[in-house]
Amino acid sequence: MEITPTGLVDACGGADNVRRALRHQDKVIIELIELERVNQDVLPISTIDHSLRQITLDQPVSQGALTALGRVIDHNLREQAAPFYSPSQKTDFHRPGWHISPPQGLLNDPNGFIYFQGHYHLFYQWYPFACEHKDKFWVHLISPDGVQWHTAPLGITPSDWYDSHGVFSGHAMVMNDALWLYYTGNTRIGPERLRQTTQCVARSSDGIHFEKLGPVIDAPPAGVTEHIRDPKVIHDGQHYRMLLGAQREDKIGRLAQYSSADGLTWHYDGLSGDSLGEHGYMWECPDLFQLSDQWLCILCPQGSPSPTPDHHVPHHNGYAKATLEADGITLDNWQVLDHGFDFYAPQTAQTPDNKRMLIAWMGLPDEVEQPSFSAGWLHQLTCPRELRWENGQIYQRPAAALESLRGPQQLLVINPECHSTTVDLGTKQFELNTTLPIPTSGHYTLYFHSRSGMMTPASSGKPSGCALTIDGDSRTLTLDRSASLATEGDTRRCIHLPEPLEDLPLQVLADTSSLEFFIAGGRWTMTSRYFSAIDATFLALTRDRHDTPLPKEMDWYALKNASVR
C-alpha cells in the first residue's frame, strides 16, 4: 500500500517529531526527534539507527509524499530559526555598524547576488543555532542601493531529502521573469557521514517566496568526487552554462561545466582548468562574467601555492582570464584578487547601469575562534565594490552608494618636522583617503590603535593594534594585525610594489571590527577582520628616521550606520 503524505507524518509521531529526510540508494531515511513516538505497526521499517534517531523505510515513498514531508520540515525549521533572526542582547562592541553580519549564529558565503525587479537581492549562508558550520540556511536581504538592506523571509531552509544537511552555495539567474536560485544540496548518510551532492533549483515569481524544484544534477560526473559544488549559471547567447567548483578523484581542483537549453535539463561537457596546472586540491565558488568585453573567472582554490611566505592558510582567492569555447573554458593569467586576511567566496552582480558589483565573505573556512563568538555571532560580508578592467587586471573600488554614509569631510595635516603624529578620530567607523609616498629608503607606519596602545615619548614599545607599513628598502606594503585581539588565521600580509611607482593612493574603509584597504586606485586590496578594544579610535603615523617622507595630509569622514533590518 502506498504511503500517503498525511499517513507518513502521522506514523512518524506527528509533524513536530520529524527532523530530517534523506534518500540513499532508493531507500528513504527519516530522522526523528523521539524514536519512541514512531508507529512501527504502520510504517514498513527495515532498520533503526538509535544513535542517529533514524529509521530506514522498507517501502518506496512517492516523490509527492517526500515533497510534502519537506514542506513539514521547512515549517519546523522556520519556526525554530525565528528567535535567532533578531540580534542577541549580549554586550557586543565588535558588531559592525554598516557591514552585513548575522543577527546570531554563523554567516559565511554570500549567495544569489542579483538585481531583480528594481532591487538588489543578496542571500548568505547561515547556521542560526550556534557559531559553527552545520546545516546551512539561506538568509535573504533586499536593497535599493546595495548599502541599506532589509531582511526578507528566510530564502531556503535545509528541509528536503536532497539538501537536509545544508543548502550550500550558489548563484541566481533571472529567467522568464522569475528569479531562479541554483545551489548545491548537501546530505550526509549514516554514522560514516557519507557525502551526497546534488545541484538543485528553487524558483520565485515575486522574489520573496521560493518553490524548490529539486535536483537538476543528481550525482557527480565520472572521475569527480562528491566535492563538487557552488553552481554559477550564465547564458552565453546560445545556451545556458553551469560552472561548478570540483575535485578530481586524484585530488586536483578543476571546473566542471554543464550546458542546457532550458536551465533544467543539463548535459555534462567536461572539466576545465588544466591550463592552470595543479592549482590546489579543490576549487570553490566560481563566478564568470565580462568586464569591458573580457571574460573573467573568479575562483577560490584550496591548497594552491601561497603567493607570499606570510600566507600559511590553505584557502585562496583569485581570478583568471577566460576564453569561452563550445564545450569548455580555457583559463590563463591567474592573479590574486584580494591580498588581505579575510576574503573568500566573492559573488558579483550586474547593476542597472551595467556595472559589476562584488560582495565577498570577510572570513575563511574553518576559522571560528573570534572575539564575537562570546556574543553569539560570527563573521560578516565585505563592503560592496565596483569592479573595472584596467591595464590587464581587475581594479576594485568601494561602491559609490557608500558615500551616502559619509559625515562631514575632515582634514588632518601632517607636520613634516614631527617624528610621529597621533589623532583620536573618536570612532571606529570611518573612511580615510591619502597618498603614501614610497621612500627610496627607510619606512613609516600607519597605526590603528587604542588609547592604551598610544605611543608617548616615554614609551619604548609600539602602539598595539593594526599596522600598515610602507618600506622603501624592500619596496613592500605590509599589513600586520599581530597586536590586535586574538583571532585565528595569519597575522601578516605583504604586497611588493613595482619600481615605477613613486606614490601610492590609499583609501581605507573601517568598521567596528574590520579594515578594507584600497590601494593605488583599487589595483590592490587588502581585507581584514580587526578586533580591538572599545577605545581603538586612534590613528598614528610614525617613521624610522627624520628624513623619511610622510603623507602631507589625510582627509577622512566618519561613517554612519547602515540599516540591516
Q: Strand 393-398 to strand 538-543: parallel, antiparallel, or no bridges (unpaired)? A: unpaired
Question: Which of 42, 21, 17, 46 is CA-nearest to residue 32?
Answer: 17
Contact 224, 57 (CB under 8 A): no
Catalytic residue among 109, 342, 480, 511: 109
Question: Which of 122, 100, 102, 120 is CA-nearest to residue 112?
Answer: 122
Taking the C-alpha atoms of residue 102 and residue 128, their distance in angstroms, rounded to an integer, is 8
Question: What cell numbers appear for 480 in the block?
Answer: 600586520
Find all residues with CB under 8 Å of 544, minimum gap 6, and list them: 442, 443, 444
Question: What cell numbers appear for 467 in the block?
Answer: 599596522
Catalytic residue check, 10:
no
Beta strands in 222-316 (DSSP E): 224-235, 240-248, 253-260, 267-272, 282-291, 294-302
What is residue 80's three-state secondary structure? helix
Find all residues with CB under 8 Å of 411, minimum gap 6, and list them: 553, 554, 555
- Where b means 16+ CB within 10 Å and e means fewer, 345-368 reads bbbbbebeeeebbbbbbbbbbebb
Question: What cell numbers appear for 376 in the block?
Answer: 553569539
Rounded to the nearest 5°, which phi and psi values hold at 84?
Answer: -95, 0
Instruction: Reduce the secondary structure of 452-485 to three states and give it as a string.
Output: HHCCCCCCCCCCCEEEEEEECCCCEEEEECCCCC
Residue spans of alpha helices (H) in 215-282: none
Chain centroid offset of residue 261 CA: 30
User: Which are the catalytic amino acids?
Assistant: 109
